[in-house]
Amino acid sequence: MSSMPHPYDAAEPARECQVTEAPEVPTAVVSQREYPMHAMPTLMDGTFSHLVEALAEVGIHPIGPAFALHHRAPVSTADLEVGFPVDTPLTETLTLPSGYEVTGSVLPSGRVGWISHLGGYGGLAEKWGAFTEEIGESEEQMMYPFWEFYVTPPAPDVNPATLRTDLFSLLEPREG
Rounded alpha-carbon distances, angstroms, from residue 34 to 4, 60, 71, 119, 155: 30, 28, 11, 28, 27
Kindly list the structural domains of the chain, giving each domain's residue range(s) and its CATH number in brackets, ordered by start. 18-171 (3.20.80.10)
Render pLDDT for 90-130 as a digit per residue (tens, 0 to 9).
Answer: 999 999 999 999 999 999 999 999 999 999 888 999 999 99
Peptide bond into 145 cis (omega under 30): yes
Render pLDDT for 45-100 as a digit per residue (tens, 0 to 9).
Answer: 999 999 999 999 999 999 999 999 999 999 999 999 999 999 999 999 999 999 99
| Per-residue confidence (pLDDT) for residue 60, from 0 to 100 | 98
Mean pLDDT of the chain: 91
Opening angle at CA 71, ends 5 and 119, nearest 5: 65
- Split at pLDDT 50, 70, 90, the class of 2 is very low
> Identity (one letter) of the amino acid at 88?
T
The whole-model pTM stands at 0.92
Phi, psi angles (nearest 5°) of residue 97:
-55, -30
Q: Which residue has the higher pLDDT, 159 or 77?
A: 77
Which residues, including other chains, have CB under 8 Å from residue 130's CB and lie 6 or more apart?
A: none
DSSP state for residue 162 in the 8-state scheme: G
